[in-house]
């Protein structure tokens, strides 16, 4: 394991340079990142406006390359269009070639905002029922495909328009169905088809936003679109729960959505994407940890321009210090199936008062297995109203209860079930009361019996305060992460004797004591906002 004190500078020279504990210190972050790019790649994006402001001249490009190298960034996305602005072709081509020459991987990007007729809803979004808007969309992708062999589409490729033309075109369909069909058609006829005609080698990535419970309502048909596009990318920007403008998202959301879309996307899944808005250094790097814990192969730092101002520089400094440890975390995670409580959200399922409930349940120290499918073969499960999207659901639930498997369901789901014995001793009802944020108020004492019941099939018991997440990786690794602003103690008991040791702490300088005796693993003084990995 790398002892990670390295921050991108030459810290150690002389005799010790080749001895293994000092391996990292003898290396720049750029070298380390190049070495590890097959494991975990670090990327950034230059928006179309960043291209204009930072990549138009040699000095700006040199500064950008220097920043990337110091941040371990080996892959850059150079954007051609955003918010009605198209970056100059010669500037794009020059930047592309300079970065390539310096050893960077280079891709393009398009943000579909400010195109043609404006939607009656969300600002910057378009009405794609409108033909001239469709024509403009196509032109942007044709232009970009002539310059780049890979194009990311930022997460504004949806519509919430309810103009007269849209009302007429949808007829008797639901908005969700109409919009999904419309955006599928845009993908095939206005993006993928025309772009590949201009450049047969071009690969197009659709980046999904983090608001997974509303995808279908605004035209993201994740099953069809994942099949149609060449690759997918995932929004993991959870930011700061208490931030008045950007907040109300919990950190586990990044993990849930990255794993959930990772299963749907399979080999097509690229990376996760997060930004500095509404973050502090601590919540910024938590986004990186969640992205890597969820097995992303790449993390994209949005965006160069924003990371140079406001909270950006402090965030980047903290991230740089943590990058060697993030590579270690990626090694622990890679190729290990996760274990735990099945937590299914069927594609296009409605949340109906239980928006993003999975994220909150993950914060309770229940190790979840995010999935789109309800498999009654699971050892334990958590079900919310989303499960009703599966027409076989009640039969599957009955099968699990008959097999005496522990099942946790929301009160909202319990109210909608018929023919299920709610008194079954294997069934626990979680009081969400129509607002998943309520779950963050559950006390340690209230959580203990719920965890013990649900974790029994895995031969473990877990006792910790709220907002301490548990992840079970493969057969010999687990991660405990404290999201609280206070130090915490926790106990994890195995039903058998184990020998366990702490193998990684993030941030590297944080305190976290772990002791193991018999089958009992005691965590003491885990510092605020700290992750601890244990192998056994």
Residues that bind Zn ion (CB under 5 A): 127, 129, 161, 163, 166
User: Which are the contacts of 432, defined by CB distance < 8 A and separation ≥ 6?
Assistant: 353, 354, 357, 384, 410, 411, 412, 438, 439
- CA dist 360 to 5, 242, 356, 410, 476, Å? 33, 15, 7, 12, 26
Q: Which is nearer to Zn ion, 6 or 127 (CB)?
A: 127
Beta bridge partners of 196: none
Residue 274's SS3 state is strand
Please state, in angstroms and rounded to a whole number, the distance separating the CA atoms of residues 325 and 313.
Answer: 20
Q: Which is nearer to Zn ion, 163 or 308 (CB)?
A: 163
Tell me the closest approach of the beta carbon of residue 131 to Zn ion, in angstroms.
11
- Residue keyed to tokens 């994942």: 226
Beta strand spans in 378-419 (E): 381-383, 407-410
Structure tokens at 115: 């195109």
Run of H or E residues at 337 = none
Q: Are 67 and 97 in contact (CB under 8 A)?
A: no
Q: Which is nearer to Zn ion, 27 or 129 (CB)?
A: 129
Please state, in angstroms and rounded to a whole number, the distance separating the CA atoms of residues 240 and 242.
Answer: 5
Tell me the closest approach of the beta carbon of residue 191 to Zn ion, in angstroms.
19
Please choose, from the candidates 252, 285, 257, the residue with its C-alpha nearest in 3D space to the C-alpha of residue 271: 257
Name the residue with the smallest CB distance to Zn ion: 127
Tell me the closest approach of the beta carbon of residue 165 to Zn ion, in angstroms.
5
Tell me the closest approach of the beta carbon of residue 125 to Zn ion, in angstroms.
10
Alpha helices in 186-311 (DSSP H): 193-198, 222-228, 252-265, 281-293, 304-307
Tell me the closest approach of the beta carbon of residue 157 to Zn ion, in angstroms.
15
Q: How far apart are the first and last CA of the chain?
A: 15
Please state, in angstroms and rounded to a whole number, the distance separating the CA atoms of residues 128 and 295.
Answer: 34
Tell me the closest approach of the beta carbon of residue 130 to Zn ion, in angstroms.
6
Q: Which is nearer to Zn ion, 129 or 291 (CB)?
A: 129
Tell me the closest approach of the beta carbon of residue 67 to Zn ion, in angstroms.
41
Beta bridge partners of 530: 482
Q: Which is nearer to Zn ion, 101 or 131 (CB)?
A: 131
Q: Which is nearer to Zn ion, 87 or 166 (CB)?
A: 166
Tell me the closest approach of the beta carbon of residue 175 to Zn ion, in angstroms.
11
Q: Are 108 and 150 in contact (CB under 8 A)?
A: yes
Please state, in angstroms and rounded to a whole number, the distance separating the CA atoms of residues 433 and 263.
Answer: 30
Helix and strand numbers, DSSP H then E, in the chain: 17, 23
Task: Calculate ∠ Cα 68-301-303, nearest 5°.
Answer: 85
Please choose, from the candidates 505, 536, 507, the residue with its C-alpha nearest in 3D space to the C-alpha of residue 521: 536
Q: Which is nearer to Zn ion, 33 or 183 (CB)?
A: 183
Q: Which is nearer to Zn ion, 181 or 463 (CB)?
A: 181
Tell me the closest approach of the beta carbon of residue 267 to Zn ion, in angstroms.
36
- CA dist 132 to 92, 116, 118, 127, 166, Å? 26, 7, 12, 10, 14
Tell me the closest approach of the beta carbon of residue 208 to Zn ion, in angstroms.
22
Residue 124's SS3 state is coil
- Other CB atoms within a 10 A radius of the CB of residue 313 amount to 13
Tell me the closest approach of the beta carbon of residue 161 to Zn ion, in angstroms.
3
Q: Are 63 and 54 in contact (CB under 8 A)?
A: yes
User: Judging by beta carbons within 10 Å of its beta carbon (0-12, 13-18, 19+), is residue 293 exposed, middle or buried?
Assistant: buried
Please state, in angstroms and rounded to a whole number, the distance separating the CA atoms of residues 388 and 321.
Answer: 45
Tell me the closest approach of the beta carbon of residue 219 to Zn ion, in angstroms.
12
Q: Which is nearer to Zn ion, 189 or 263 (CB)?
A: 189
- Name the DSSP letter for residue 190: I
Tell me the closest approach of the beta carbon of residue 396 to Zn ion, in angstroms.
40
């Amino acid at each position: 394991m790398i002892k990670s004190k390295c921050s991108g500078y030459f810290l150690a020279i002389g005799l010790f340079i080749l001895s293994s504990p000092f391996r990292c210190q003898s290396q720049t972050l750029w070298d380390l990142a190049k070495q590890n790019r097959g494991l975990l790649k670090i990327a950034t994006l230059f928006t179309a406006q960043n291209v204009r402001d930072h990549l138009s001249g040699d000095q700006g490009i040199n500064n950008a390359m220097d920043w990337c190298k110091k941040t371990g960034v080996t892959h850059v996305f150079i954007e051609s269009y955003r918010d009605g602005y198209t970056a100059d072709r010669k500037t794009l081509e020059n930047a592309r070639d300079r970065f390539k020459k310096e050893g960077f991987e280079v891709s393009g990007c398009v943000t579909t905002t400010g195109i043609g007729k404006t939607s009656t809803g969300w600002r910057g979004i378009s009405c794609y029922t409108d033909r001239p808007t469709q024509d403009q969309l196509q032109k942007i992708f044709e232009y970009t495909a002539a310059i780049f062999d890979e194009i990311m589409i930022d997460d504004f490729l949806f519509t919430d328009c309810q103009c007269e033309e849209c009302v007429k075109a949808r007829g008797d369909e639901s908005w969700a169905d109409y919009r999904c069909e419309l955006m599928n058609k845009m993908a095939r006829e206005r993006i993928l088809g025309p772009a590949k005609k201009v450049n047969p080698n071009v690969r197009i990535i659709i980046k999904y936003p983090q608001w997974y419970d509303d995808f279908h309502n605004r035209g993201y048909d994740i099953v069809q679109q994942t099949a149609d596009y060449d690759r997918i990318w995932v929004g993991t920007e959870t930011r700061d729960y208490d931030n008045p403008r950007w907040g109300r998202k919990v950190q586990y959301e990044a993990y849930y959505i990255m794993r959930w879309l990772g299963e749907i996307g399979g080999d097509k899944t690229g990376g996760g994407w997060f930004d500095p808005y509404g973050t502090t250094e601590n919540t910024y790097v938590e986004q990186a940890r969640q992205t890597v814990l969820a097995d992303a192969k790449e993390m994209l730092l949005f965006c160069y321009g924003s990371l140079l101002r406001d909270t950006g520089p402090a965030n980047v400094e903290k991230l740089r210090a943590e990058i060697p440890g993030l590579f270690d975390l990626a090694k622990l995670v890679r190729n290990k199936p996760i274990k735990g409580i099945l937590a299914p959200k069927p594609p296009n399922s409605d949340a109906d008062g239980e928006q993003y409930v999975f994220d909150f349940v993950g914060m309770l120290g229940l190790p979840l297995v995010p999935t789109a499918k309800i498999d009654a073969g699971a050892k334990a499960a958590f079900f919310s109203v989303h499960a009703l999207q599966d027409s076989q659901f009640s039969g599957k639930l009955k099968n699990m209860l008959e097999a005496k498997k522990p099942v946790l369901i929301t009160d909202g789901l319990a109210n909608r079930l018929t023919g299920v014995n709610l008194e079954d001793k294997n069934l626990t009802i979680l009081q969400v009361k129509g607002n998943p944020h309520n779950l963050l108020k559950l006390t340690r004492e209230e959580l203990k019996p719920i965890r013990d019941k649900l974790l029994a099939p895995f031969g473990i018991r877990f006792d910790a305060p709220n907002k301490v997440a548990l992840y079970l990786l493969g057969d010999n690794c687990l991660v405990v992460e404290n999201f609280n602003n206070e130090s915490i103690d926790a106990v994890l008991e195995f039903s058998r004797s184990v020998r366990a040791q702490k193998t990684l702490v993030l941030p590297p300088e944080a305190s976290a004591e772990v002791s193991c005796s018999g089958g009992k693993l005691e965590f003491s003084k885990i510092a605020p906002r700290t992750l601890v990995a244990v192998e056994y």
